[in-house]
Structure 1
Amino acid sequence: MCADTPEYKETINLPKTDFPMRAGLPKREPTWLARWEKIGVYDRLREKGKSDNRTPFVLHDGPPYANGHLHIGHALNKTIKDIIVRSHQMMGHDARYVPGWDCHGLPIEWKIEEKYRKKGKNKDDVNVVDFRRECRAFAEEWVGVQRKEFKRLGITGNWENPYLTMDYHAEAVIADEFMKFLMNGTLYQGSKPVMWSPVEKTALAEAEVEYHDKESHTIWVKFKVSGNADLNDAFVVIWTTTPWTIPSNKAVVFGAGIDYGLYEVTGTPDECWLSVGDKYLLADNLADDVFKKARLEEGQYTRLRSVGADELTNIELSHPLAGTDGSGGEWDQPRDFRAADFVTDTEGTGFVHCAPSHGMEEFELYRDLGMLEKVITYNVMDDGGFRADLPFFGGKYILNRKGGEGDANKAVIDKLVEVGGLLARGKIKHSYPHSWRSKAPIIYRNTPQWFASVDRKMDDGMGDYGDTIRERALRSIDELVQWTPQKGRNRLHAMISDRPDWVLSRQRAWGVPLTCFTKVGALPTDADYLLRNAELNARIKAEFEEHGADVWFEEGFKEKVLGGIADPADYDQVFDVLDVWFDSGSTHAFVLRDREDGTEDGIADVYMEGTDQHRGWFHSSLLQACGTKGRAPYKNVVTHGFTLDEKGMKMSKSIGNTISPDQIVKQYGADIARLWVAQTDYTADQRIGPEILKGVADSYRRLRNTMRYMLGSLGDFTEADRTDPADMPELERWVLHRLAELDEQIQTSYRAFDFNAVWQAVFNFATLDLSAFYFDIRKDVLYCDGDTNRRRSARTVLDILFHRMTAWLAPILVFTMEEAWLERYGADESSIHLTDFPKTPASWKDAELAAKWDAIRSVRRVVTGALEIERREKTIGSSLEAAPVVQIDDSSVKDLVGSIEFDDICITSGVELGAVSNGFTLDGTEGVSVQFAKAEGEKCQRCWKVLPDVGQHAHVGCCKRCSDALG
């Protein structure tokens, strides 16, 4: 709408704003970042929290590793956290956020080792303290890089004082938290099979393992039966995908409820390791498959009879390498043979080969039988090589130095072939555990390790939720924590229910040491094996506070801290380092508990990470806190999924489908990356790519135009223009009703961490209720009215809209809403991020008015549809050329429409409510039909309405409204 003639055009109240249509975010966002830092927005909010006595709200940051540039998963994670923090701040909390970094552990140590390997140096030849200092410097460098990259995404927080797990205080607290396990009796040293990385020479936690397909050797091995005259010439057959474990075999087990048979070979093919007359014991359900693997055909073997559990119990087995020349008697003792619950007849042979040093089920079986000393072997060294003096296989490696297939499997298979110990062999492709750092396969290896028992009772005075770590963890999950999404509860509960004891020790150098001493000559089962002394613990903590954990590795430290407490000669110092998950699991103590910007009770309002952290940080934090606090360290756990490409594929540099946060920021700006986060259902896996980002940018442009329209109409708005809602027209009061509804919906969604619901509510409101309806209707009033109540009311509503829209979207579009705010309020020290969500009066809600306007909008849609046909057929160019006749069958609806200026609502020059024949109708709106008619009169040269009174007023060519406005 604009005037036809130049003199009238100058009288129109056209929008005026410097808020550009093109955002130019990549270039302009850094200026707002610098401004926030200059005026100290984060610190001012903390001061406001104190002065207003606000309720604290703390999202505790799960620490990323300080070892590389950010990837898109980092951007997703930190943006979700930032939206949570900012929204809760604007809802009236003191929302504190302390970013942190995980600085110890294999990811960083591995990088330093790689540097050494390139120079041909061995890490073990370097002084451990010097090596640790290199690791510290590496981490410090990457903390600086990542901090800059996170800040560029608009992430708010205490960036000047983050937490680092390698800070001296943090290391002191981590050690102190470990020593609480020492003192409460949950710490013990045990020897059991653990996930072991031969390449990295260390035990691994479940969270450090990922599964990939791997091709493995598979063999069917013969164990000769003895001790039973009826079966002495038969063989028990086992099946395994780990031939390298055969030298460590100590037993074979069977299933007491499985049907077994004695089978005889009656014929053989040309190439076969079986002979006619051979007899084999096999599970009946698996016999056919086993003989097929051995290349026998149907009819070349027969079942002689059943063999029951009682008969199996009375036999002995010989190892296939028993009595071989050069074995030195290594395998000559009979193998144990008994029933076990874990044996099935769904795969293999129905018999399971047991090497308890390399399998947890076998280990637990013989542990419970009290027979571990008889069945544990130490054949495999920390580098995955067989001990040098192991007959036939000494010096052979399970893996080569790069994690590929070593020579151990082949050596074992070849020897079994040589001695006639194989029935069949082959290859199998299956999912197999790999180290997530080196990407090499891992093994299960029995080694002495330090464990935290999850089932030992603790008499520590913190038993409100149970006496063991497991009990406390499970009750915390169910009674103390809210889960978003709820399935996160089920996943973690299942993991905690079934998990074994926590392996705390790592045979590495870069980490917080296990600060304990063991008595020389004592056994781990002896009561005095561990030195438990509160004064000693206090000394260690004080040393770490002053010098950091490096001091533990310095010469003379043992003598220094033990002086006056115990004779240093009586104790050995433990030099293993803690699992890094214990480090990050302890952060509640040195961040939440110890910092001024933490929480009074050391418990966070929210932990938020990816789904992999159910077995990672959520898990370790829960276990650690249940051991030292007696309960979970969090009230809410929010989980996001993984980021995939546009086709739903996992991102991979080798495929070339990755997209970095830096790419998005340079092309579109950080606000587009943030809007992508808000638009996704982050609780599931989400997708990103060029086409998706184009769609996000389009939504952003539409929202930006809404903000620009409001700013243009509010350029000279003052408090003198403000109108009381009671004096406003119905249309404005309807907008206020919608705002009241939205305010409740948006704050509920923010509290539920549902940003997609926030964005959809605001965006739909902006596009459907505002741009396509309210703005469209009130454009005429804003442009053409003089100082009327209608115009003042409309501008008052626009002002109210502006404050709410900028506030509601500020946690998401941090830069754009600041830009809009500064466009209105200048470049002083104000900021949208220093404000709260405006209070919305309850009186704005008017359900009766809302129902009325729902009916009016329904009728309007029919009118709009009828006019659109005429526009397409070029009967009219503008809806202002029309004055349609509208028939409304429902008299109550007709009365509602008749009570307002319906022509203004339809943006026509007139509307007649009357009878219509063969009019336009719209599916879904029954009882309404529209007959098109052209408006009668002349076109006003100022507002373009076609009215009978044009030309009859003081200003020629104008309608009365426009003539009055011109004065």
Structure 2
Amino acid sequence: MLKTKPDHQFTEVVGMPNFPEMEKKMLETWYSSGLVDKYLTRNNNSEKNFYFQDGPITANNPMGVHHAWGRSYKDLWQRYHNLKGYKQRFQNGFDCQGLWVEVEVEKELGFRSKKDIETYGVAKFVDQCKQRVLKFSAIQTEQSKRLGYFMNWDNSYFTMSDENNYTIWHFLQVCWKKGWIYKGHETVPWCPRCETAISQHEMLTEDYKESTHKSIYLELPIIGRDREFLLVWTTTPWTIPGNIAVAVSTELEYSLVQGEDENKFWVAKDRVNALFTGKLAVIKTVKGRELVGLKYTSPFDHLPAVKKVKDNTPADKFHLVIATDEKILPISTTEGTGLVHTAVSAGTEDFALGRKYGLPLIPLIADNADYLDGLGEFSGQNAKKHPEVILDYLSSQDKNGNDCVFLIENYTHRYPACWRCKTELVWKVADEWYISMDKIDPDDEKGRTLRQKMVDVAKKINWMPEFGLDRELDWLKNMHDWLISKKNRYWGLALPIWVCESCHEFEVIGSQEELEKRAVTGWSEFKGHSPHKPYIDEVKVKCKCGGVMSRIPDVGNPWLDAGIVTYSTLIDPQTKKVSYLTDKKYWKEWFPANFITESFPGQFKNWFYSLIAMSTVLEDTAPFQKVLGFASMLGEDGRAMHKSWGNSIEFNEAADKIGVDVMRWTFARHNPERNLLFGYKLTDEVRRQFHMTLWNSYKFFINYAILDHWEPSIETHKVPTTLDLWILHRLDQTVIETTRSLDHFRADGAAIAIESFVHDLSTWYIRRSRDRIGPNSPDGDDKAACYHTLRTIFDVLSRILAPINPFISDYIYQNITGE
């Protein structure tokens, strides 16, 4: 007989439940009764661990329904392993530092640029950022509780903590000792509004927006040839003053074409018909290699900054045709001219080609994208806000008889924007700090580079779905060195890089203790503060040469913050210190994480990458064993969710309107490999087909049992009918399938199996058992057998439902058992 509290009486079930209100009452009961604490500690004496590592949610705004998807998964598998008797840590994480917080605080304060921050005061601004994190972490905590997410909310980790920051210092010092940290001077994607570099990790597909810009087909006269031009095409006319070379493909065929006037143009043979209309003559066609070495002039050669570079550059390194490297800059014959304008200072591929050929660069723009001094009438004008200044100048030159413009037209393409403030990016030369991916690890017996070691580590992880490994390996294969610095920003990890003012060598400090020991000035000003700007910048240390070393002003890439958490968050409960940085005993008890889950898009570049990178450096091992990736949530209209489009849904709104169990079931039953089109039409269908079917079946049993005065203690001696045996067999099958699916981290398999059973219960079993129970049916063993069967079904159902739908399952369980 199933366990039931003595003298328990069923409570009547209403016909049209208000799920959101029921959930709120259940939530209050859970926390007031101490049930949550019992849940968190029930397996503390277990000898088996399940370590789920939470990927920190950015504590910057209230949750949306897209956050609820991932957090439902996280709670689901923690609940499931709790039921299976595993000891767990139940630690939530909050991501705290970086542009996402800074930009929102700037909006609150009405700031328009970093100058406003410095006028306001860096210390006050940093404190405002911290206060915003604390505010929204508290809001997200309450929202997560409303979701039914059981965690030890008093033990959440914050990536702004000393423990997290100093563990990253240790990691960076290990990289430095291996010779992997260096200062690079190269062209980087740059946000002119935030005035900082945007790393490869931060340039996500969704941050490329369809934009329309003016493109130009520019005529560059070849030196020593009468009215003969290179015809180049660019969609970024603002970069033309920085032109150094024109790239061609040595194996492509190029034609010299004359139109209706006397001008002759070199273009790719395959582009002739697309570019020229009317009468034309193809004078000759040659391979691109025959164009290499041709010299030309630019309409901006008169500018002082251009003249300065030209005067200090060998003739064979300035304004010439070069052979492209197809691995760096493959040349298209489907658009453009086949001749590529190359501005070494204003493009990633341009810079790489320039480095290969030893070409100079012409610095063009300041941090805010204003043209620099030395660029004549353009100096001080903003390259992105006023791109027309270049086109207007070229058009005026053209009208004055200086052939420049072949064609100006609108061009629509996908162009990157800052992931945080949505400003279109530019490319500029900057000094940034990197971790090398391709230097050999001096401590590795196999002589591998960090990139090679990370590939080996990634292959040891169980990726769900399997294509996740291919995507991660593709990213590892093609990514640049890891850009770890953020110039001109304030709220973030203080990079522990100190540079000598005398010999200019640099060192990486690995701990707070080391910094205190080596400090020569500024320690008293810093003591008692977290390792953040501005106080950390007061500390000077002594260099080996005898000089004084100062910290670089940069903060760190925020993915350092999240990537270290499998090391920094395992705090020894006895010493209250980061276990990995002390005796590692507690860390070894839990590491590596058994499981993580996050949305796949973007995380290959970001959290998965940084977790693997940092663990590879520190221990040459995987930081987690299994990862479940899920796709993106879109609106029901199939578009990305945006407030401005009217298709985004806040979590609180959805929780109050449909209830979280309906949300959680919608997430669970969905194939995680596919994008989820979320909206109220979908959830209403889920509610109608599953939750109302379940509820009406449950109502049928409870209310008839009350009318019949049936109690679970009533014995039956009649053998169950074939129908009873069939439904109980279906129940057993459902338990097996649900368990199998959840063991393999397939919530959709479990949900669909339960849905199928509830359909059979309602459509077949209950429909054919209506005459067996109720006050109008005869008392006896058959009635009792039916009631016992239904009682068994709802007891078991409430248990297998619990990881996915904790509210309705507990509501049913309490009424069934009285517990």
Structure 1 position 532, deviation (Å): 5.0
Which whole-Å deviations, capped at 9, do the CAs of 1:80-128 have from their partners, x for residues lacking one? 2211221222233234432111111111111222233369981122332
Residue from 578, 592, 599 that aligns with 1:610: 599
Structure 1 position 325, deviation (Å): 9.7
Q: Given the alignment of the two structures, is residue 690 of structure 1 paired with residue 672 of structure 2, yes or no?
A: no
Correspondence for 1:558? 539
Which whole-Å deviations, capped at 9, do the CAs of 1:600-636 have from their partners, x for residues lacking one? 3532222211232233322332233323332332222
Q: Given the alignment of the two structures, is residue 493 of structure 1 paired with residue 484 of structure 2, yes or no?
A: no
Which whole-Å deviations, capped at 9, do the CAs of 1:754-808 have from their partners, x for residues lacking one? 223222211221221x2333334445444445453x4554444334323210011
Aligned partners of 1:326, 1:356: CA distance in 2, in Å?
14
Change (3 A) 1:232 1:473: farther
Q: Given the alignment of the two structures, is residue 155 of structure 1 paired with residue 143 of structure 2, yes or no?
A: no
What residue identity is the alignment partner of 1:454?
Answer: M
Correspondence for 2:634? 644
Aligned partners of 1:536, 1:806: CA distance in 2, in Å?
51
Q: Given the alignment of the two structures, is residue 193 of structure 1 paired with residue 193 of structure 2, yes or no?
A: no
Aligned partners of 1:604, 1:570: CA distance in 2, in Å?
42
Aligned partners of 1:68, 1:767: CA distance in 2, in Å?
40
Q: Given the alignment of the two structures, is residue 391 of structure 1 paired with residue 376 of structure 2, yes or no?
A: yes
Aligned partners of 1:119, 1:281: CA distance in 2, in Å?
46
Structure 1 position 39, deviation (Å): 3.5
Structure 1 position 324, deviation (Å): 7.3
Q: Given the alignment of the two structures, is residue 575 of structure 1 paired with residue 559 of structure 2, yes or no?
A: no
The answer (yes or no) to whether the contact 1:321–1:331 under 8 Å persists in 2 is no
Correspondence for 1:437? 420
What residue identity is the alignment partner of 1:90?
Answer: L
Q: Given the alignment of the two structures, is residue 322 of structure 1 paired with residue 312 of structure 2, yes or no?
A: no
Q: How many residues align?
A: 773
The answer (yes or no) to whether the contact 1:246–1:412 under 8 Å persists in 2 is no
Change (3 A) 1:522 1:430: farther
Change (3 A) 1:547 1:669: same
Structure 1 position 212, deviation (Å): 0.8
Change (3 A) 1:472 1:537: farther
Q: Given the alignment of the two structures, is residue 215 of structure 1 paired with residue 203 of structure 2, yes or no?
A: no
The answer (yes or no) to whether the contact 1:199–1:383 under 8 Å persists in 2 is yes
Query: Residue 57 of structure 1 aligns to a residue in which SS?
Result: coil
Q: Given the alignment of the two structures, is residue 600 of structure 1 paired with residue 589 of structure 2, yes or no?
A: yes
What residue identity is the alignment partner of 1:221?
Answer: L
Aligned partners of 1:325, 1:589: CA distance in 2, in Å?
53
Change (3 A) 1:98 1:546: farther
Change (3 A) 1:807 1:125: same
Q: Given the alignment of the two structures, is residue 505 of structure 1 paired with residue 485 of structure 2, yes or no?
A: yes
Q: Given the alignment of the two structures, is residue 670 of structure 1 paired with residue 664 of structure 2, yes or no?
A: no
Change (3 A) 1:592 1:414: farther
Residue from 436, 441, 451 that aligns with 1:458: 441
The answer (yes or no) to whether the contact 2:798–2:813 under 8 Å persists in 1 is yes
Query: Residue 154 of structure 2 aligns to a residue in which SS?
Result: coil
Residue from 74, 77, 86 that aligns with 1:81: 74
The answer (yes or no) to whether the contact 2:46–2:87 under 8 Å persists in 1 is no
Aligned partners of 2:296, 2:230: CA distance in 1, in Å?
8
Correspondence for 1:958? none
What residue identity is the alignment partner of 2:170?
Answer: D
Residue from 337, 343, 354 that aligns with 2:321: 337
Aligned partners of 2:304, 2:117: CA distance in 1, in Å?
40
Q: Which moved more, 1:776-785 or 1:687-696?
A: 776-785
What residue identity is the alignment partner of 1:31?
Answer: K
Structure 1 position 183, deviation (Å): 2.4
Alignment of 1:375-454 (within 5 A): 375-400=360-385, 405-406=386-387, 408-410=389-391, 413-414=394-395, 417=398, 419-454=402-437
What residue identity is the alignment partner of 2:354?
Answer: Y
Structure 1 position 737, deviation (Å): 2.8
The answer (yes or no) to whether the contact 1:172–1:549 under 8 Å persists in 2 is no
Aligned partners of 1:762, 1:289: CA distance in 2, in Å?
60
Structure 1 position 412, deviation (Å): 5.2
Structure 2: unaligned runs, 5 residues or longer: 1-8, 574-578, 580-585
Q: Given the alignment of the two structures, is residue 587 of structure 1 paired with residue 565 of structure 2, yes or no?
A: yes
RMSD of the TM alignment (CA)? 3.2
Structure 1 position 248, deviation (Å): 1.1
Structure 1: unaligned runs, 5 residues or longer: 1-14, 268-275, 524-528, 831-967
Query: Residue 257 of structure 1 aligns to a residue in which SS?
Result: coil
The answer (yes or no) to whether the contact 1:286–1:345 under 8 Å persists in 2 is yes
Aligned partners of 1:742, 1:344: CA distance in 2, in Å?
56
Aligned partners of 2:103, 2:228: CA distance in 1, in Å?
51
Query: Residue 59 of structure 1 aligns to a residue in which SS?
Result: coil
Change (3 A) 1:714 1:631: farther
Structure 1 position 415, deviation (Å): 6.3
The answer (yes or no) to whether the contact 1:252–1:336 under 8 Å persists in 2 is yes
What residue identity is the alignment partner of 1:502?
Answer: W
**Sequence identity percentage:** 23
What residue identity is the alignment partner of 1:737?
Answer: H
What residue identity is the alignment partner of 1:58?
Answer: Y
What residue identity is the alignment partner of 1:392?
Answer: E
Q: Which moved more, 1:500-509 or 1:603-612?
A: 603-612
Alignment of 1:614-763 (within 5 A): 614-698=604-688, 699-712=690-703, 721=714, 728-763=720-755
The answer (yes or no) to whether the contact 1:19–1:820 under 8 Å persists in 2 is no
Aligned partners of 2:787, 2:300: CA distance in 1, in Å?
93
The answer (yes or no) to whether the contact 1:472–1:631 under 8 Å persists in 2 is no
Structure 1 position 257, deviation (Å): 0.5
Aligned partners of 1:668, 1:323: CA distance in 2, in Å?
67
Scaled by the length of structure 1, what TM-score is found?
0.74
Change (3 A) 1:124 1:552: closer
Residue from 281, 292, 312 that aligns with 1:302: 281
Correspondence for 1:895? none
What residue identity is the alignment partner of 1:539?
Answer: L
The answer (yes or no) to whether the contact 1:243–1:412 under 8 Å persists in 2 is no
Structure 1 position 551, deviation (Å): 5.3
Structure 1 position 556, deviation (Å): 7.1
The answer (yes or no) to whether the contact 2:364–2:428 under 8 Å persists in 1 is no
Structure 1 position 577, deviation (Å): 0.6
Query: Residue 376 of structure 2 aligns to a residue in which SS?
Result: coil
The answer (yes or no) to whether the contact 2:342–2:350 under 8 Å persists in 1 is yes
What residue identity is the alignment partner of 1:642?
Answer: S
Correspondence for 1:923? none
What residue identity is the alignment partner of 1:195?
Answer: P
Scaled by the length of structure 2, what TM-score is found?
0.87
Residue from 274, 282, 285 that aligns with 1:289: 274
Structure 1 position 386, deviation (Å): 1.1
Structure 1 position 303, deviation (Å): 1.9
Structure 1 position 548, deviation (Å): 5.0
Change (3 A) 1:537 1:304: farther
Structure 1 position 506, deviation (Å): 0.6
Correspondence for 1:469? 450
Aligned partners of 2:668, 2:292: CA distance in 1, in Å?
64
Residue from 235, 242, 264 that aligns with 2:258: 264
Query: Residue 744 of structure 1 aligns to a residue in which SS?
Result: helix
Higher radius of gyration, 1 or 2: 1
Which whole-Å deviations, capped at 9, do the CAs of 1:477-497 have from their partners, x for residues lacking one? 33x222222333332222222
The answer (yes or no) to whether the contact 1:104–1:511 under 8 Å persists in 2 is yes
Structure 1 position 207, deviation (Å): 4.5
The answer (yes or no) to whether the contact 2:216–2:233 under 8 Å persists in 1 is yes
Aligned partners of 2:512, 2:166: CA distance in 1, in Å?
13
Correspondence for 1:874? none
Change (3 A) 1:550 1:50: closer
What residue identity is the alignment partner of 1:602?
Answer: F
What residue identity is the alignment partner of 2:471?
Answer: R
The answer (yes or no) to whether the contact 1:592–1:604 under 8 Å persists in 2 is no
Which whole-Å deviations, capped at 9, do the CAs of 1:890-944 have from their partners, x for residues lacking one? xxxxxxxxxxxxxxxxxxxxxxxxxxxxxxxxxxxxxxxxxxxxxxxxxxxxxxx
Residue from 27, 42, 46 that aligns with 1:33: 27
Change (3 A) 1:621 1:157: same
Structure 1 position 500, deviation (Å): 1.1
Structure 1 position 641, deviation (Å): 2.3
What residue identity is the alignment partner of 2:291?
Answer: L
